[in-house]
Structures are given as structure tokens and as C-alpha cells.
Structure 1
Amino acid sequence: MKITLVEGDITAQRVDVVVNAANSSLLGGGGVDGAIHRRGGPAILAECRQLRASRYGRGLPTGQAVATTAGDLPARWVVHTVGPVWSATEDRSGLLRDCYANSLRVADELGAATVAFPLISAGVYGWPLEDAVRQALAVLRSASPAHVTEARLVLFGAATYAVAERVADAS
């Protein structure tokens, strides 16, 4: 699987799957989650509401992943995953890696060839940027999906992209 770092807007990626750094409610929010729901339109929210009414009445657990339509996004599906909130006193890196692994698994089960990931938990959830990149790359580099041939790590802003590039080159 080819891994590509891209500076840009995840909602503009022309891929089979866009991964959403969702909150557990699956009903939209801020950051990546809000942007995906706004640009993707009401079809995504409608499917998320169905998921809440059936399988995820208490919300999607941290580290897990589930797929919906991509609505108006230039993708076929959105895979929603809930990242952990960073903690200085508790190692939650396993949950962060689970987000990438489970999202990739769901995308592969859908038959997707291309997947765009945001930098999960690195926004309002406070995960340190360099470690967030390291965790993402560790999972993506060790994965061997059956169908996915390209995973993009989409970084918002030149400064974030520069950090990701430096971490990728060093690891």
C-alpha cells in the first residue's frame, strides 16, 4: 500500500473512502467532523442517526469505525472513527492506532482502493502533533490490506504538513 502525505482539505479528496475524526455521537461536531458533515450534506447525518438508533445507541466507542454514505463528498463512503483525547497521565496510543487500523479494515471490507485519513485526535482532542503522525504512520506502514492500494494522510495547513513530512522522513 502506498502512503502519501497531502497538504489540503480532506473534504476535497477524490478517493473511495474519507475517514472522519468523529465524536462518539456520530451527529457532527467541529473540526474535521463538522467539515465532513457540512460538505457531505444531510445524507451522512441521516445514516449516522440510523446507526445511533440501531447499533450504537450509546455512541461509537473510541477506536472503533463504521461506514456511511459520503453524501455530496467526492468519495463513495465516509468511515467514522472516534479518536481518544490525549492524556499526559495515561497512554492512550493503542486507542489512536486502533482508529487507523479499524478504519482501514472497514475501508478494505468495502472494497475501497483509496482512503484519505485526517490526523486523528491532533485537533481539539489535543494529541501532540509529532506523535500523532508517528502513530498514524506506524499503523499504515505495517498494514497489508487486500484492496486498499493508497492511504493518504491529509494534513490541514502548511505547518502541519511540514511537521508530518519531517516525522515521516525521520521514521
Structure 2
Amino acid sequence: MTETPNPNIIDADTLTGEMRPIRRVVIGLGSNLGERMSALQGAVDAIADTPDVWVTSVSPVYETEPLDAPAGSKSFLNAVVLADTTLAANRLLDRALAIEDAYDRERSEVPNSPRTLDVDLIVVGDRRSDTETLVLPHPRAAERAFVLQPWHDLEPEAELPDHGPIADLLARVGDQHITRRDDLALEVE
């Protein structure tokens, strides 16, 4: 994955004149509580409505068994959104958290607990981050078929920075019980 679809494209802020590169963003979506499909569509709409973010494509929807989740967790619906943006990674993270909050995401001390909506930044251009609030690329994306398969559907030649081609990563993760749901589709308006 490159820094931008075209590294020569730069966006200038209309108020400040500041030049900002356009970066390709990969965003993972998931929901296993409540109206799962409605939450995913709402997230796609909210991302598309974010200033300085341009959604370029949305993957098929996959139903996935919970991975490393508490006993009794219901299956997830998952998808990946590709977008171009001039926003900084921290501003994108703030937006992702706000979208989750709008869908009543409850945070838990229990890892991988059920949630109404999960909005994860997988890749933001070639940015690297290792802070308490943001790790880029996403630290577990290389191990998750529910991220890799929908992303592969959109960009079969893509690479996860520091990990390699997503096709190779997908071949390594094995069967994680994901099923493509062709009866469900997310739309970009």
C-alpha cells in the first residue's frame, strides 16, 4: 500500500493554505450486538460524511464467529471501508471513537467483549504509531481473516505495512469461520 493513490496529489486547506498529503485509509467495521447491519451502514454513512474523508469503496459483508471473545458472544458482521483523507491519524481516531459512541458502544475491561459497533483504523497511509491510544498499522490485523478477507476483496494486491501482502497473510490465518453474506450489502451515498 502506498502513502497515497497518487503521491503527487496534495490537498490545500482552504482556510490556512496548509498543504496536506492525501493518504489511503483502511477502516475495519464490526458489530455483534443489536441491529448489526444498521450499525455498519450507519458507520459507512458517518465516515462518508466526515469532512476531508472520501470513501472510495466498501467491501462485501462477512459473518464471523467471535475470535478470542467471552463465552456466549454472538457472531459479528464485518466489513472494510477504503477511503482517501487529508486528516491526521489522531483526528481519524477521534472520529472513529465518536462514531462508535453514537451507536452506544460500551467499553469493557474484558478483551473482545460484545459491541454494538467497532470502528478500527487498520492503515493510515504509511503512518506508524505506537502510543497508548493509537497503534498503526493495527496490531492484530495480520491475524484476522475478518479484516484481511474483506480488504483482499477490494485490493487483492494490497500490503499491510511491516507484515507483507494481505493475500499471504490471509493464507496463513487459516479457517476463522468467516462467511461472505451476499444477501447483505453496504452502500455509499
Q: Same fold (TM over 0.5)?
A: no
- Asked which structure has the greater CA Rg, the reply is 2
State the TM-score, normalized to the length of structure 2.
Answer: 0.29
Q: Which has the higher strand share?
A: 2
Q: Which has the higher helix share?
A: 1
